[in-house]
Chains A and B, each alone.
Chain A
């Protein structure tokens, strides 16, 4: 019963929370560029507007993939926030992303084609870090279950600073921000028309947006795990890192995909794996 309440609360509250964060992001970004910026509720207006628009499709099935993308994302988030196995969360997350890529491939437009290829490259770049994160957390807490990890009394960040750094490094990729917004961008940056979302309009685009908010909630949840010994500190860390990502977004230009892939793997190997090897020998 308790699990059902948590899942319902998660499904209801996540779009509100992450949508507000996205609104704050646009406001802060605007202020950094000396603009006034849109209202905080702008992401919600955008989503509601997209619901009222006509949905043009190239192939009817493309929107089915997007529906599964959203459902899989909600499923992944529900697994995470009910304290299930962290490895299962990572695999379900990959599945969700694959649905988006398949949906974009289905449209057979060259722009969404390149966008989805770049999305696959991005997944190749950040998956090792996510797996290393879960392995590192397991080595410290001796459990893959998120409920056990949250209940762990000592600060994880002190054991896993390298893994945490690698995780921050891929964070811009998951939040779709510069320097790693290769497949599509959260903001009005134009690349390959609109990358992976080029051929989606109306309700499907709104669903992609909402699914991204669930995606963000999972990533913020991962940050929370590193500071889970102190919930207040953890919430501050989550918000501070979100702000850091915005600063990075406004400071850097987009990198080429070769450099994005190589640098992610180097960081994962040196900091992530290095951290785990040191942990292995210290034990």
Chain B
């Protein structure tokens, strides 16, 4: 039995979003939605996190930061791209400073559409991310 399902800790990173999705992601932690009842903690430290929540497309300046955070997260880890900018670039897709959507830089497991996405869909994404986390854990155990 894996306990990853019971306590997924998230780290939230803002690529270059308009803050719409950020506010919705933080709204999930407020009393109305309360992600913590699923055991979720917003850690803010990549070494403690299981789920990497990214909002907004990635630009040339924070590409390195995004990679660094991803590399510092211990296995098993899951990346969730929140919002249409993170999944495809959105309306910023043609900007000169954009490196592209998140999956151009690091592998993404769960995509959440929406501009800005509803807290309910972020909830759903985290529920799916937990399943992926579980799969990755079993895969890792098999390889060991």
Contact surface of A with B, Cβ cutoff 8 Å = 26, 30, 33-39, 42, 45-46, 48-49, 51-56, 188, 190, 193-194, 197-202, 205
**Interface pair A37/B42, CB less than 8 Å apart:** no
Count of A-B contacts with CB under 8 A?
Answer: 79
Interface class of chain B by DSSP: loop
- Chain B: residues with Cβ within 8 Å of the partner, total of 24
Q: Contacts of A188 on B, CB cut-off 8 Å?
A: 36, 41-43
Q: Which residue on B lies nearest to A190, using beta carbons?
A: B44
> How far, in whole Å, are A188 and B48 apart by their CA atoms in the complex?
11
Q: Is B143 among interface residues, defined by CB-CB distance under 8 A? A: no
Interface class of chain A by DSSP: loop
**Interface pair B47/A199, CB less than 8 Å apart:** yes
Q: Is B90 among interface residues, defined by CB-CB distance under 8 A? A: no
Q: Which residue on B lies nearest to A188, using beta carbons?
A: B41
Stretch of B1-9, B14-22, B119-127 with 4 or more beta carbons under 8 angstroms from chain A: B1-9
**Interface pair A36/B7, CB less than 8 Å apart:** no
Stretch of B59-67, B69-77, B98-106, B110-118 with 4 or more beta carbons under 8 angstroms from chain A: B69-77
> How far, in whole Å, are A38 and B37 apart by their CA atoms in the complex?
4
Q: Which residue on B lies nearest to A191, using beta carbons?
A: B44
> How far, in whole Å, are A199 and B47 apart by their CA atoms in the complex?
7
Contact surface of B with A, Cβ cutoff 8 Å = 2-4, 6-7, 31, 34, 36-39, 41-45, 47-48, 50, 72, 74-76, 137
> How far, in whole Å, are A109 and B94 apart by their CA atoms in the complex?
38
> How far, in whole Å, are A215 and B37 apart by their CA atoms in the complex?
26
**Interface pair B6/A35, CB less than 8 Å apart:** no
User: How far, in Å, is B30 (CB) from chain A's closest CB?
Assistant: 8
Partner of B2, one of A52, A56, A199: A52
**Interface pair B37/A35, CB less than 8 Å apart:** yes
**Interface pair A38/B36, CB less than 8 Å apart:** yes
Q: Contacts of B72 on A, CB cut-off 8 Å?
A: 56
Partner of A45, one of B7, B42, B74: B7
Q: Contacts of A48 on B, CB cut-off 8 Å?
A: 3, 6
If A194-B44, A199-B47 touch, whether A38 touches B39 (CB-CB below 8 Å) is yes
User: How far, in Å, is B85 (CB) from chain A's closest CB?
Assistant: 24
**Interface pair B45/A34, CB less than 8 Å apart:** no
Q: Contacts of A197 on B, CB cut-off 8 Å?
A: 48
> How far, in whole Å, are A42 and B137 apart by their CA atoms in the complex?
20
**Interface pair B36/A202, CB less than 8 Å apart:** no
> How far, in whole Å, are A193 and B49 apart by their CA atoms in the complex?
12
> How far, in whole Å, are A95 and B74 apart by their CA atoms in the complex?
30
If A35-B34, A42-B39, A188-B41 touch, whether A56 touches B3 (CB-CB below 8 Å) is no
Q: Which residue on B lies nearest to A193, using beta carbons?
A: B45
Q: Which residue on A lies nearest to B37, using beta carbons?
A: A36
